[in-house]
Chain A
Amino acid sequence: MPSPAVAGTGAATTAGAATPAPGTRPGARRWAAWAAYVVVIPVLLYLTPHVYNNQLLLLNLVVYLVLAQGVNVIYGFTGYLPFGYVGFFGAGAYGTSMAVIHLHTGGTVAVLIGAVVSTAMAVVLLPLLRLTGAYFALASLAASQAVYLVIANPSLTSFTKGPYGVDLSRVFNPNLAYLYAAILLAVATAVVVYLRNSAFGLSLRAVRADPLTASVAGINVARARGIAWLASAVLAGLAGGISAWVTSVFYPETVFAINISVFAIVFALFGGVGSVLGPVFGGIILYSLYEYIGVSSPQYFQFAYGLLIVILMLFLPGGLASVARAARSLWERTGGRVHRRA
Chain B
Amino acid sequence: MLFGYALIAGVLFGLFYAFMSTGLNLLFGVLRLVNLAHGDIVVFGAYVAYSLSSMAGLNPLLAIPITIVPALAFGVLLYYGTVPRLNRSQDTEMASLILFFGVSQVLEAVATFAYGNNQASLSPTTFGGPINILGEHVPATWVVCGLLSIPALVVLFVYLYRSRLGMATRAVMASREEAAAAGINTRRVAALAFGIGVAFAAASGALTIFMLGGVNPSTGSELVLTAFTVVVIGSLGNPIGTVVGGLLYGLVFTFTKTYSPSWADIVPYLLMLVVLLVRPTGILGRRVRSA
Contact = CB atoms under 8 A, between A and B. Distances in A.
A141 B272 CA distance: 10
B7 to A, nearest CB: 25
18 contacts: A1-B83, A1-B92, A15-B90, A130-B277, A130-B280, A131-B277, A142-B225, A143-B269, A145-B269, A150-B266, A153-B262, A302-B106, A302-B108, A302-B112, A306-B108, A309-B102, A310-B102, A313-B99
Contact of B90 (A14, A133, A309): A14
Given A7-B87, A141-B225, A146-B266, A305 B105 contact: yes
Contact of B97 (A134, A154, A155): A134
A14 B92 CA distance: 14
A327 B268 CA distance: 47
Interface in A284-313: 299-303, 305-310, 312-313
Nearest to A79: B91
Contacts of A153: 262-263
Contacts of B94: 75, 79, 81, 133, 137
Contacts of B176: 1
Among B93, B94, B221, find the residue whose CB has the most chain A CB atoms closer than 10 A.
B94
B273 A146 contact: yes
A81 B263 CA distance: 28
Nearest to B180: A3
B109 interface: yes
Contact of B85 (A75, A265, A314): A314
Contact of B276 (A79, A135, A258): A135
Contacts of A301: 109
Interface in A1-46: 1-2, 7, 10-11, 14-15
Among A1, A7, A299, A310, find the residue whose CB has the most chain B CB atoms closer than 10 A.
A1
A309 B98 contact: yes
Nearest to B224: A138
A130 B276 CA distance: 9
Closest 3 CB pairs of A and B: A306-B105, A309-B102, A303-B109
Given A128-B277, A302-B106, A313-B98, 20 more contacts: A1-B31, A11-B90, A81-B94, A134-B93, A137-B34, A138-B34, A138-B225, A138-B272, A139-B273, A141-B225, A145-B225, A146-B266, A269-B98, A302-B105, A302-B108, A303-B106, A306-B107, A306-B108, A314-B99, A317-B95
A100 B53 CA distance: 53
Given A303-B109, A306-B102, A314-B85, A135 B266 contact: no
Contacts of A134: 28, 33-34, 93, 97
A139 B233 CA distance: 12
Contacts of B273: 128, 139, 142-143, 146
Contacts of B93: 133-134
Contacts of A317: 89-90, 95
B99 A306 contact: no
B104 interface: yes
B109 A302 contact: yes
A149 B266 contact: yes
Nearest to A132: B291
Interface of A: 1-2, 7, 10-11, 14-15, 75, 79, 81, 127-128, 130-135, 137-139, 141-143, 145-146, 149-150, 153-155, 258, 262, 265, 269, 299-303, 305-310, 312-314, 317
Given A1-B83, A313-B86, A303 B110 contact: yes
A145 to B, nearest CB: 5
Contacts of B232: 135
B204 interface: no
Interface residues of B, number: 55
Nearest to A317: B89
A2 B102 contact: no
Given A7-B87, A306-B109, A313-B86, A138 B228 contact: yes
B178 interface: no
Nearest to A81: B94
B88 interface: yes
Contacts of A131: 276-277, 280, 291
B25 interface: no
Nearest to A146: B269
Contacts of A313: 86, 89, 95, 98-99, 102
A79 B89 CA distance: 13
Interface string B3-23: 000000000000000000000
B92 to A, nearest CB: 7
B101 interface: yes
A307 B106 contact: yes
B97 A137 contact: yes
B109 A310 contact: no
A300 B34 CA distance: 26
Contacts of A141: 225
Contacts of A138: 34, 225, 228, 272
Contacts of A154: 262
A317 B98 CA distance: 10
A1 B276 contact: no
Given A130-B277, A155-B262, A313-B99, A135 B88 contact: no
Contacts of B105: 302-303, 305-306, 309
Contacts of B34: 134, 137-138
B90 to A, nearest CB: 5
Given A14-B90, A132-B291, A306 B104 contact: yes
Nearest to B99: A313
B103 interface: yes
B291 A135 contact: yes
Contacts of B190: 1
Given A143-B273, A153-B263, A155-B262, A10 B101 contact: no
Contacts of B88: 2, 7, 10
